[in-house]
Structure 1
Amino acid sequence: MCKGGRVVSVEVCPVHKSEVKGLAAVLGRAFYDDPVMRWMLPDEAHRQRALARMFATMTRHHFLSGGSSEVAYRQDRIGAAALWDPPGRWRQTPLEELRMMPGFARAFGRHFTRGKQVAELMKKHHPQEPHWYLAVIGSDPTVRGGGFGQALMRSRLDRVDAEHAPAYLESSNPDNVPYYLRFGFEITGEIELPDNGPVMTAMWRRAR
């Protein structure tokens, strides 16, 4: 089925096109209570569906072609996913942005401007040095604490270290910062969202 290591019966696999819908549903549930996602999509009744559409759009039109994103399985069920960009590929191409626009418009609706604001702020603060970029990682709340996230982090960071490369992420939830610190990331700054929005934490992992 795939190649990957096993951590407490969790299998890590590259993302395939057939898994996009399941992956997006998992990430939609994972980020439902995320502070930044609540700010971008304040309508609780529609947030989960909108998030699933957003993550499906991102994966289908950008991350799939990069070949570096992964899902974590247990007993043929996706429990978590991580969307990574390899060095030099974090910025979406104009064609990718064009293809993603309809999906984003449907996902955000009248809150489209907020989604665009977050994207522009993230680009503004993004480091220019070549690096691996962890754009998204999340576990289904029903399996959280079951080793899915750890398996995904370890799988990709092993390759990062083999390449002696740095890595970067933005944590959209302050509760998750200690988790990333345990994997060697360090806090390098904050990204403040407008209109009294939440703060994202920029984190950098030095090459090893």
Structure 2
Amino acid sequence: MPLPEPLSTPALVDALIVDPFYLAISVDFENDLPVRKAVLAAYFGYSLGEAGRTGRCETLEDRELGAAAWLLPRSAQADTQESAAKDAFLSRTLGPRGYANYNRIVDFMGPHASAAVPAQAWYLSILGISPAAQGRGLGARLLAPTLAEADAAGVACYLETFTPRSVAFYERMGFQRKAAPLEPVTNSVYEIMCRPAKG
């Protein structure tokens, strides 16, 4: 699938800019909204590309409305290469405080996810729908192909969300709440949710 970043990233920015995680990683630009949006668009563009390389990148027919990025288990070599490339991208794209925040948040969240979800679970890294298009079932349409693929493969899926109002949606998609840690950088509670393997 061709990289959808030029069309999908504005929708992701508009949908997720108030999320505590994205506020924290773009904090260096908190007084310049256009630059903050550009930095987040670059982040989402990179993340969609990573999902396309090592997971699943799903878009709607109208790619301006949103996207979903999944990361699937990858070999140690691929993980080393992708992690190094992503770190280089983040260090030159996020400001120094945002880059430090990103690493502190990820370092906190990683062990909590490992304790709450099965090994080899597929990770829904990003899901965003343009605010003007929300409430029309588009999020479910974005998730359906990869969830069906995971069901056929007999693997679990998981996600993390800082957005309380999204929990009910994910529950309708078969995800179950597993833990709700308080993340110290954002001082926000987030939900770890897992969708069990079928079969």
TM-score with structure 2 setting the length: 0.84
> Residue 78 and residue 202 in structure 1: after superposition, are their counterparts in 2 closer, same or farther (change >3 A)?
same
| CA distance in 2 between partners of 1:105 and 1:49 (Å) | 15
The offset of 1:21, in angstroms, is: 2.5
Alignment of 1:132-151 (within 5 A): 132-151=122-141
Please list every run of at least 4 consecutive aligned residues from structure 1 whose deviation after the TM superposition is greater than 4 angstroms.
none
> Which residue of the partner structure matches residue 80 of structure 1?
66
How far did residue 126 of structure 1 move?
2.5
**SS of alignment partner, residue 73 of structure 1:** coil
Instruction: Name the structure 1 match of 2:8.
Output: 23
Q: Distance in 2 between matches of 1:195 and 1:143?
A: 31
**Structure with the higher fraction of residues in strand conformation:** 1
Offset, 1:95: 1.8
Consecutive unaligned residues in structure 2, runs of 5 or more? none
Aligned to 2:110: 123
Shift of 1:151: 0.3
> How much is the aligned-residue C-alpha RMSD, in angstroms?
2.2
Is the Cα contact below 8 Å between 1:39 and 1:197 reproduced in 2? no
Secondary structure (helix, strand or coil) at the match of 2:8 reads: helix
Return the TM-score normalized by structure 1: 0.80
**Alignment partners' CA distance in 2, 1:31 and 1:107:** 18
Structure 1 residues without counterparts, runs of 5 or longer = 1-14
**Deviation at 1:58?**
2.3
Distance of aligned partners of 1:90 and 1:83 in 2 relative to their CA distance in 1, 3 Å threshold: farther
Deviation, structure 1 residue 94? 2.2
Cα distance per residue 1:42-61 (max 9 Å; x no partner)? 4161332221111122233x
Q: What is the aligned length? A: 189
What secondary structure does 1:129 align onto? Answer: coil
Identity of aligned residues (%): 24
Which residue pairs with 1:183 in the alignment? 173
- In 2, the alpha carbon distance for the partners of 1:144 and 1:90 equals 36
